[in-house]
């Protein structure tokens, strides 16, 4: 009876993974070969000799046949059936590749790899590349892989976070929305945009600003995205834009008030997110002009309104300055804005 060399190499790969996991102090539970449908084992992570309850599923590919032509990565052919299986798993699945001859092993998160390819619209995914620099090691288990397990474990908490946004307690609402808006798996979801629109009128300015940023993040993805033509991004942009277009006059005023002391430059600037939101509203221009013309309003707020009317472009304000200067209701704020802009240029710090 023959024992194929390929089986020996595959077994050696699983044993290598088990050895690294043991050295880390965690637990590796192999799946019996007859029950292997695309998962070779599970890692239960241990931290400071305490079991964490965090699991990672592992698919192992061993042998030089998986070495890429570049000589600095592994390349594993995959089919849609296996991808669907791995993507539907309740715990993260990593692919670990091992070359006994080169004494190299590397890993990658299958879900993250596929989602990246989908975002780049590089479909269908027919192979997964695992670069050597993503070494599978004790250090990787302590950092990247443990972080992956922690991140995915948080997914089951996101529904609770959404529920907290509807709490009668302001502190609970803040905690719940901060989780939704900052977690990488939920900050890009429509439910987060919906909650953001509901929370703009919160008395708690911190929560209202979180909501403003999150809704603006949804609307502005087309302006700040690396891939604005992505289908999923278009869906979020459209949904957030619909929410922003239906904001009431009271909500629009609150959004403007929230950026009194905020910056307007770059994707993380709250002022830019405010501008993204207001671009969706037919009411916005009227309200911006009303605030800009109202001398009872704070000067910085009036100036921000002029700035947003002219699409956050100081040069456009300068070009219109002569015409605007004859309007007694806004001449003072235009002059203040240009003086403020000049001072910022001279003293950028």
Check: CB of residue 190 under 8 Å from CB of residue 239.
yes
User: Under DSSP, is residue 228 helix (H, G, I), strand (E, B) or coil?
Assistant: coil
31 pLDDT more than 90: no
5-153 CATH choice from 3.50.50.60, 3.10.100.10, 1.10.1740.110, 3.40.1350.10: 3.40.1350.10
Backbone angles phi, psi at 251, to 5 degrees: -70, -35
C-alpha–C-alpha distance, residues 51 and 311, integer Å: 54
**SS3 per-residue string spanning 271-313:** HHHHHHHHCCCCCHHHHHHHHHHCCCCCHHHHHHHHHHHCCCC
Q: Check residue 158 and give its pLDDT.
A: 81
First to last CA, the chain: 78
pLDDT digits (tens, 9 = 90+) for 119-178: 887 889 999 999 999 999 999 999 889 888 877 665 667 888 889 999 999 999 999 999
Q: Check residue 1 and give its pLDDT.
A: 46
pLDDT digits (tens, 9 = 90+) for 99-135: 988 889 999 999 999 988 888 878 899 999 999 999 9
Lookup result for tokens 């002569």: 322
DSSP 71: S
**In the structure encoding, which two tokens stand for residue 169, read together?**
């307690």
């Amino acid at each position: 009876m023959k024992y194929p060399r390929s089986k020996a190499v595959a077994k050696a790969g699983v044993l290598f993974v088990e050895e690294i996991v043991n050295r880390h102090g965690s637990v590796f539970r192999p799946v019996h070969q007859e029950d292997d449908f695309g998962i070779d084992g599970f890692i239960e992570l241990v931290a400071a000799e305490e079991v964490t309850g965090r699991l990672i599923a592992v698919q192992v590919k061993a042998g030089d046949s998986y070495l890429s032509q570049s000589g600095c990565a592994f390349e594993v052919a995959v089919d849609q059936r296996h991808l669907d299986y791995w993507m539907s798993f309740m715990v993260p699945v990593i692919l670990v590749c091992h070359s006994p001859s080169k004494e190299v092993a590397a890993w990658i998160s299958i879900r993250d790899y596929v989602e990246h390819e989908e975002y780049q619209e590089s479909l269908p995914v027919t192979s997964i590349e695992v670069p050597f620099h993503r070494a599978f090691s004790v250090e990787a288990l302590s950092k990247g892989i443990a972080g992956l397990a922690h991140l995915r474990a948080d997914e089951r908490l996101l529904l609770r976070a959404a529920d907290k946004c509807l709490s009668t307690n302001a502190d609970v609402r803040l905690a719940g929305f901060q989780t939704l808006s900052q977690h990488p798996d939920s900050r890009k979801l429509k439910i987060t945009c919906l909650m953001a629109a509901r929370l703009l009128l919160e008395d708690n300015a911190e929560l209202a600003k979180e909501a403003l940023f999150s809704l603006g993040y949804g609307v502005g993805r087309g302006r700040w995205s690396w891939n604005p033509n992505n289908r999923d991004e278009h869906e979020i942009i459209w949904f957030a834009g619909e929410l922003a277009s239906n904001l009431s006059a009271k909500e629009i005023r609150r959004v403007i008030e929230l950026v009194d002391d905020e910056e307007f430059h770059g994707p993380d600037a709250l002022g830019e997110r405010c501008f993204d939101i207001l671009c969706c509203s037919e009411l916005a221009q009227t309200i911006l002009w009303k605030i800009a013309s109202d001398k009872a309003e704070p000067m910085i707020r009036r100036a921000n309104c002029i700035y947003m009317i002219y699409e956050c472009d100081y040069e456009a304000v300068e070009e219109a300055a002569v015409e605007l200067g004859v309007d007694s209701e806004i001449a003072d704020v235009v002059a203040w804005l240009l003086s403020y802009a000049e001072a910022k240029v001279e003293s950028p710090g």
